[in-house]
Structure 1
Amino acid sequence: MKKLQDSAKNAAPVKTVVPPAPKKEPAVKKATAKKPMGKIPSIAEQQAKPQYKVADLPTDPEDWHEKPVARGVAGRPLDETPALVGAKRAQVKCDINVDSLAYWNDPAGKRDLDFKSPFGLSKEQYISFTPDPGGWNNVRMSMEILFVLAAITNRTLVLPPKEPLYLLNKDTAARHRGFADFFPLDNPNFPVKIMNMQDFLNLPAQQALLDEKGSTERQSILNAADHCDRRKGSSASCVPIYEFLAEVGHNPELSSVSDCVIFDADALQDPESPSTEGKALAETYCGEKRRVTYWNHEDHSQHDHLHLPAQIKQFRLLTHFYNMLYFSDPKVGNYFKRFVRDYLHYNDVIYCAAGKIVKAVQKEAMALGFSLDAEGGGGYSSMHVRRGDLQYKKVKIPAKEWYDNTKEVWQDKEILYLATDERNKTFFDDLAVHYEVRFLDDYWDLAGLSGLDPNYMGMIDTIVASRARAFAGTWFSTFSGYINRLRGYHGMSMKDSWYSFLPKKTAVHEWEIVKHSAYAFEWPDGWVGIDSDTFPERDKF
């Protein structure tokens, strides 16, 4: 690979060949979300539900975004958070005010806006990758690691072509999706430079490498630059372009299972001589089953193009970014945790729809005598009941077990919002005989869900569930784990989160040091105290 790159640099100038216009997807009408239709009326469907209009909903005060940026147990006093000087709470662009749903800051503090990573070089360098092959939250976890790596190393992140994502297949008319469809990557303050695949392939160095290919192979690569399919026989197959990237980019061979990556200023020059803090970090967090990898110039920075093939089993990045990437200087490490919080959140269209549902559930709850918390959350409680293709069969329990295992968590007459992929609502009858239960499609018309990308529905469910007073999730589900992280960002205590699987019911009620690769749940390392310049105490979460 290096030989190819060197030969490209020393070769005589070549004319820039502009790739042909990207192959467009068929001009078909984009699908919209369809309201699920039940065949047998369930107890839940027979429960009386208020029919609100948007004008009936309570809204947040217009000056909500002027509140102090410290949130609940995750926050710290302003004199302990110099990075937040100049920061303000973000606002959600919506036809009603739902700003209390924004857990991120926009703008970020002045220090963050001016931040320069000590681990990047001044020259132009790139990171490309292939998405994780799993479900959406696995894809998101892997994506977070890659965005953080790009930010740490000051590299331009090359986004992969749009492709059909596993289980995000609700839109049969336009199947291909990219990360910009879900996240506001066009934020003018976004700290990472981003480039699409077409522009990357049009760089002189990449054109020179493409010119070494035969015309058929070269064309198959260019055909896939805008969007591709994982089927090898497709006319726009992802295979040729991903094979090309693997050939010309340097693979650092990172794996979430086997690597504990430490960023330490001393080790950057000599990985054999990390600082005392770096060694202590490795001792504390890496455990016995992961190799300690100190990021350094010799092994990593010298390569202008890094490529991480995260779709390959031995190179998957199936963990949380804070469980794989560590910093001996907490001031630097906390910056990257804020980066994920403040920039890698779902877009305003998703949050606006979710906000209307939250406000509707809360309006009904307040009529029953329930109140909201200081951050605008609560009033109702929630569950995430994962069914579908969940491979861990022992945690797929019937509704009666959900009731038996969690009944003491819920308050009398409290509304339970059920985020779920189970479309047969009779499954929930053993819950509905005890509680008023609500589902996403109860608010279909109110939130205008029919006009949205149908792949947004699970993300909206995530947000609504995250604003509940108490929450019970499905163990092993990264969907449930992400709900807990969002709750943490809002400053909600993990003591109000549970799991329906009895052996892990109170798993998040203790904040333990995790020394192995983990994805079954999330823990406060990712959100508590991240606005300060020190490692957090583990006494308040």
Structure 2
Amino acid sequence: MAGKQNLNVGTLPVLTWRNLLLGVLASMIVFSSLVHMSAMLVPGVLEENGMSVLESQLHPEAFVGATAEKGGRSNVNLRSRRQPSVEGKSASTSSFENFDTVENVQAQTDFQKIYSLDKLRDAGYANALIKSDELEPEGKQILQDCPDVSRHVVYWQNLPKDKVWESPYKNLGPKNKYLLFEPDEGGWNNLRLGFEANLALAFATGRTFVLPPRDRVYLLKKSSQQQKEKLNKLFKSDTNLISARSPVYGFEDIFAMEPLRERMRVITMEEFIREVINDPSNNELPRPQEELIKLVQENKFLSWKNSLLRSWIQRISVQPKWNPSKVFVAFPQRDRLHKEGIEKFTDNQLNVGMRPWKKRRREPVFYDEELWNSKVLLFSQCRGAPCRMLVQFYSLLYFADEKDDKMLKRFIRDHLHYSSDILCTGARIIDMILNDANSIKNDNDNEISPMKLYSSGHVRRNDFQYKEARHAPLQDILDVMWRHTKVHNEVLYLSTDETDKDVLAPLSAHYQVKLLGDYADKVGLHEIDPNFVGMIEQVVASKARIFIGTWWSTFTAYIMRMRGYRGLNHQSFYYPKPFEKEMQRFQHPEGLGWWREWDPAWYQLDE
């Protein structure tokens, strides 16, 4: 019929499929919008290129950089990081395993309890000004040497529930059991890592911890009349080891020993030798050589390099040759530990619980009957063998019992900290910086915050072995700092080994730059051992509202740890830029993990 369109029945399916496809596409668009809206309400649920939706809104410039791949691949892949090996060379990895999504979401939620979501959205969480004391623990302690300013530096607690904890291995094997170790030969913060690892192992196994003798420390070589006078009061010596020009140090000179001794037995090497000589329960051990006994009895200075001491210790000890880059020490549930031995771990404990520890092909070793029956354990540097204890203690030790795991981490947090001299000096400098910050007009003068704070940075330049950080242009460092501080004329406390002030001049265009020297006379720094300056600067940097540190630096890492204890880990960033936001999401340690700090060191320790 004219004027009528003849419909071909065969065309109906085609039209139906087209409509169907359009309907599916529309549904996908609506669903995608709903997911994005829900992610805005529940931060951390949806991630794009390694960044949550909430993070992308708070840091749009970083999100653009992470996703701008038109015309080619992005120069920065936030899911891959170059990580150094123990030897200092870089090893490439593209494996970013984000374990425990629930923990990640919970960490974000905990963070928002401290900083309200409205404030985060308004200012960007990196710029949220807060009362610094809001982050102090309820059970915080007071330093008796500086009670008026100790609030600035105290992050540890005194928890009654921890005082009753006891290692299940304490009553297994000999009554008197000792752990000795040989210190690392690197700088102070490398020594600190080895100290923490061995201390944690001694505490976990119920052993007496024997401090190594004092020795020279790499880079702690400034002339120190203070240390010379201290050691001359302790020892009688006619050697040149005790001198102002070439000082020697022990861990007891830098860390406070009293808090440690509240929870475990800690003795010096000299005390250990006297115990072996005089305690009948130690008769099974070979006696030291008479010359070595004479040194101790006459209270002469004893060096770790003393060949008599080293040979004797090697004769009396069992020496596990553990390579922390390939193994970690696994402890089973308490109900699987018996005097007749350790029962096998369950498949769940091996394949799930140990999963983060087994990254980078590490395998478990066990503190078994042979070890707990050994009277003396020695962990040496294993010259010629790769068993250097350059490892995070919480990456070295795995506990199937979560309560024991958190107990050990609280022990390190609450009982291992710098000496009162170091902490109090840092606290007084912080107080002076805060006074300066509140006398300077800056962009936050209209903020409701009751006080203005300060930011801090660690810029490693001169002898650093990682060229990407050492040669990073200052403008790149400044860009990272400004992205997260964004307060013009704010006080920026800078810890750096850069000696050319002209290099640092661009920072002064944005900040009131303060160095340690600006407070040296006011705080009486000339009365403090000059080799403690680095530790003091770590303390000062740890309290800043925002901190920018150097990736790969163990100096920066300890600042990050103290900030993590305070709840300021999400207010902490790195340069170079590819590592800028490493502290912004929950991550387990990867392998040794020594080049940075990781969330499990502080996350939910008190729960």
Q: Give the AA of the match of 2:588.
A: I
Question: Quick check: 1:93 aligned with 2:131?
Answer: no
Please point out which of 323, 348, 362 is paired with 1:290. Answer: 362
Residue 146 of structure 1 is matched in structure 2 by 198
Match of 2:169 in 1: 119
Residue 539 of structure 1 aligns with which residue? none
| 2:264 corresponds to which of 187, 192, 203 | 192
Change (3 A) 1:90 1:376: farther
| Kept in 1: contact 2:318–2:377 (CA 8 A) | yes
Deviation at 1:244, TM superposition (A): 2.5
1:383: which partner in 2? Answer: 457
* Contact 1:382–1:471, Cα closer than 8 Å, also in 2: yes
CA distance in 2 between partners of 1:75 and 1:225 (Å): 56
Question: Which residue of 206, 211, 219 maps to 1:167?
Answer: 219
For residues 465 and 390 of structure 2, what CA distance do their matches in structure 1 show?
Answer: 16
Q: Per the alignment, do residues 374 and 272 of structure 1 end up closer, same or farther by CA in structure 2, a change over 3 Å counting?
A: farther
| Residues 1:104 and 1:121: Cα distance change in structure 2 (over 3 Å) | farther
Check whether the contact 2:438–2:452 (CA below 8 A) recurs between aligned residues.
no
The answer to whether 1:326 aligns with 2:398 is yes
Quote how far apart the aligned CAs of 1:487 are.
0.7
Q: Does 1:306 align with 2:382?
A: no
**Cα distance in 2 between the residues matched to 1:183 and 1:199:** 18
How far residue 158 of structure 1 moved from its aligned partner, in angstroms, is 1.1
Match of residue 54 from structure 2: none
CA RMSD of aligned residues (A): 3.1
8 Å contact kept, 1:380–1:415: yes
Q: Which amino acid counterpart does residue 550 of structure 2 have in structure 1?
A: T
Could you state the TM-score of these two structures normalised by the residue count of structure 1? 0.74
Q: Is residue 257 from structure 1 mapped to residue 325 from structure 2 by the alignment?
A: yes
Corresponding residue for residue 523 of structure 2: 447
Q: What SS class does the counterpart of residue 128 from structure 1 fall into?
A: strand
Q: Equivalent of 2:492, from 416, 427, 436?
A: 416
> Any idea what SS the aligned residue of 2:329 has?
strand
Counterpart contact for 2:425–2:536, Cα < 8 Å: yes
Give the Cα separation in 1 of the matches to 2:388 and 2:506: 39
Distance 1:514 1:186, change over 3 A: closer
CA–CA distance in structure 2, aligned partners of residues 222 and 417 of structure 1: 48
Query: Structure 1 residues 306 and 360, CA, compared in 2 at 3 Å: closer, same or farther?
Result: same
Most deviating of 520-529 and 162-171: 162-171
Question: Offset at 1:113?
Answer: 1.1
1:508 counterpart letter in structure 2: M
Amino acid at match of 1:124: N
Residues 268, 295 of structure 1: 8 Å contact kept: no
Aligned residues of 1:499 and 1:505 also touching (Cα < 8 A): yes
Q: In structure 2, give the amino acid aligned to 1:256.
A: P
Distance 1:480 1:339 in 2: 22
Deviation at 1:496, TM superposition (A): 1.7
Q: 1:404 to 1:464 in 2, by over 3 A?
A: same
In 2: Cα distance, 1:285 partner to 1:379 partner: 38
CA offsets per residue over residues 11-34 of structure 1, 9 Å max, x none? xxxxxxxxxxxxxxxxxxxxxxxx
Is this contact kept in 1: 2:325–2:592, CA < 8 A?
yes
CA deviation vs aligned residue, 1:84-105 (integer Å, no higher than 9, x gap): xx98311023346113234444
Q: Deviations over 1:267-287 (max 9, x none)?
A: 645456114553232234222
Q: 2:250 aligns with which of 178, 188, 200?
A: 178
Deviates more, 1:309-318 or 1:447-456: 309-318
Identity of aligned residues (%): 29
Higher helix share: 2
Which residue of 421, 425, 429 maps to 1:357? 429
Deviation at 1:208, TM superposition (A): 7.5
Q: Is the 8 A contact 1:415 1:435 kept in 2?
A: yes
Q: Any unmatched runs of 5+ in structure 2? A: 1-108, 115-136, 225-242
Q: Are the aligned partners of 1:184 and 1:344 in contact in 2 as well (CA < 8 Å)?
A: yes
Q: 1:460 aligns with which of 515, 532, 536?
A: 536
- State the SS of the aligned residue for 2:145: coil
Kept in 2: contact 1:176–1:227 (CA 8 A): no
Secondary structure of the residue that 1:446 maps to in structure 2?
Answer: helix
Is the Cα contact below 8 Å between 1:255 and 1:316 reproduced in 2? Answer: yes
Q: Secondary structure at the match of 1:145?
A: helix
Structure 2 counterpart of 1:29:
none
Query: CA separation in 2, counterparts of 1:224 and 1:93?
Result: 31
Is the contact between residue 437 and residue 452 of structure 2 (CA under 8 Å) also seen in structure 1?
no
Determine whether 1:530 maps to 2:605.
Answer: yes
1:171 Cα deviation after fit: 3.1
Task: Note closer, same or farther for the CA distance 1:359–1:287 as it changes in structure 2 (3 Å cut).
Answer: same
**CA–CA distance in structure 1, aligned partners of residues 159 and 336 of structure 2:** 29
2:571 maps to 1:519 = no
CA distance change for structure 1 residues 220 and 255 in 2, over 3 Å: closer, same or farther?
farther
Distance in 1, matches of 2:589 and 2:222, equals 36
Distance (Å, rounded) in 2 between the aligned partners of 1:116 and 1:453: 37
Match in the other structure for 1:3 = none
Deviations 1:86-137 (A, max 9, x none): 983110233461132344445x222211211123226211011111111111
Aligned to 2:30: none
Secondary structure at the aligned position of 2:364 is classed as strand
Query: Does 1:399 find its partner at 2:474?
Result: yes
Secondary structure at 1:444 match in 2:
helix
**Structure 1 residue 495: Cα displacement:** 2.7
1:458 aligned counterpart, secondary structure? helix
Q: Shift of the alpha carbon at 1:401?
A: 2.7
Amino acid of the residue matched to residue 394 of structure 1?
Answer: E
Return closer, same or farther for 1:246/1:212 CA change in 2, 3 Å cut-off: closer
Distance 1:375 1:156 in 2: 48
1:337 equivalent in alignment to 2:409: yes
The whole-number CA distance in structure 1 between the counterparts of 2:168 and 2:387 is 26
Q: Indicate the structure whose relative CO is greater, using CA pairs within 8 Å and at least 6 residues apart.
A: 1
